[in-house]
Amino acid sequence: MILYEFEGKNLLKAAGVNIPNSQLLHSLEDRVTLVFPLVLKAQVLSGKRAEQGGIVFANNENELVDNLEMLFGKTVNKEVVEIILAEEKTEIEKEYYVSISYDTETRGPVLTISESGGTGIEERKANTYSINPLNLDIISDQNQLFGLPQELIAQLIKLFFDTDFLLLEINPLVKTKTGEWIALDAKIKLDDAATSRHEDWKYPPRLVAGYTPTEREILAKKIDEGDHRGTAGSTYFDLPGDIAVLASGGGGSLTAMDVLLKAGGKPANYTEYSGNPPKEKVEKLTEIVLSKPNLHGLWVVGAIANLTDIYETLSGFIEGLRNVRTKTGLKIDFPIVIRRAGPRDKEAFELLKKEIQDFDLHLYSTETSIAESAKIIAEKAKEYAKKEENVSVT
């Protein structure tokens, strides 16, 4: 999960790192009690806000009112600004760049430092050091830190590991004219897999930087909250197609999307469930997937499962189908193609066969490949769409 700047700075402050005097604003009615001059910063998840007009200054009350009116509701990198962080302007003597992240080449954490922080850091020289989690006193030569306090770097490294960060980036970390060290910005990414270790992580749902989640995307993500029995809905994106998809397994679900597109089908969503979730979670995900309007087909697909209980998960799927029909009155008469195999699949298919009289089910196992089942649902969805079109005309 990527944090907003103000959320990241709260974590830094709690760890003893200095941040500017600030105030969070949610509307034009919020009274600002800070001392001018101020910096007004749009709170969005994407970077390069300044280039999009997302960071402005206010030297007096009139400028403050004008700039707040301009920022609230403004679109910055495809995100609508709903929160603004107001900060007292800092008198800067020197800017630095500091980050701690995981490197794919070394497969370990690395510390990156540059003595030229600020905008355009990607094009500036930086030094990188591997970090040994068992020996956090990694740099004894003060010259390697470009004058940054060793104790401050040690603080940041400790915070990175203690709080399960995937990324900690401060750009810029500044030295003020009075000799203070202050984090003027903070980009932090948390390890979602560590949620169970942090009861204080009460952050509202968010998806991708530069993207405002739909209601279905938010609801799907909540399915796994507090329930670590497999996953169902943690990854869900609405797409513009007409074939709903319930895929199983991360790699298998991506392959399924590729072959569906190749077959001429248009997915209405991307999601996957895996790790043997209970039927209740699959039931909820099914309801969310089917809540999208104008569907012409549903594809339940996966490779041969090793651990996922096919009977358990497809029981949840059937319950979800029934719930949607009962709660919404939706007929659900479009074609449903199911291609699954794995533990207790025979019992699952016997259960599904009892539902054929109520739903247009087409059942396939290992004798039919994922690619072949993609062609089947793509063709059936097109036929159903044509039938619906003819009914509308008449």
pLDDT in tens, 97-154: 999 999 888 888 999 999 888 766 666 778 888 888 777 665 655 566 888 998 999 8
Enter the CATH code of domain 213-393.
Answer: 3.40.50.261
Side-chain-side CA neighbours of residue 316 (13 Å): 22
DSSP codes of every residue in 268-311: SEEEEEES---HHHHHHHHHHHTTSSS--EEEEEEEE-SSS-HH
DSSP codes of every residue in 221-249: HHTTTT--SSEEEEEEEE-SSSEEEEEES
* Share in percent of the chain as helix, strand, coil (round to 5): 35, 25, 40
Give the mean pLDDT of 327-335. 91
Nearest Cα residue to 378 out of 268, 237, 290: 268
**Residue 143's pLDDT is what?**
60
- List pLDDT tens digits, range 41-80: 999 998 889 999 999 999 999 999 999 999 999 999 888 8
Nearest Cα residue to 76 out of 212, 170, 238, 187: 212
**Residue 295's pLDDT is what?**
97
Which one has a higher pLDDT value, 144 or 256? 256
Enter the CATH code of domain 21-88.
Answer: 3.30.1490.20
pTM equals 0.66
**Residue 209's pLDDT is what?**
62
Q: Do 220 and 200 touch, CB atoms closer than 8 A?
A: no
Residue with tokens 């490294």: 157
- How is domain 92-196 classified at the CATH fold level? D-amino Acid Aminotransferase; Chain A, domain 1 (3.30.470)
- Residue-level length of the chain: 394
Average pLDDT of the chain is 91
Residue 18 has pLDDT above 90, yes or no: yes
Letter for the amino acid at 347? Answer: E
Q: Do 340 and 301 touch, CB atoms closer than 8 A?
A: yes
Domain ranges of the chain: 21-88, 92-196, 213-393
Residue 259 has pLDDT above 90, yes or no: yes
**Residue 394's pLDDT is what?**
60
Residue 164 has pLDDT above 90, yes or no: yes
* Burial group, residue 4, by CB count within 10 angstroms (0-12, 13-18, 19+): buried
Residue 207 has pLDDT above 60, yes or no: no
Beta partners for residue 129, in sequence order: 111
**Residue 393's pLDDT is what?**
66
Which range has the worst mean pLDDT, 7-11, 131-135, 278-282, 354-358?
131-135
The contacts of residue 288 (CB under 8 Å, 6+ apart) are 216, 219, 220, 223, 233, 236
**Residue 139's pLDDT is what?**
60
**Residue 184's pLDDT is what?**
97
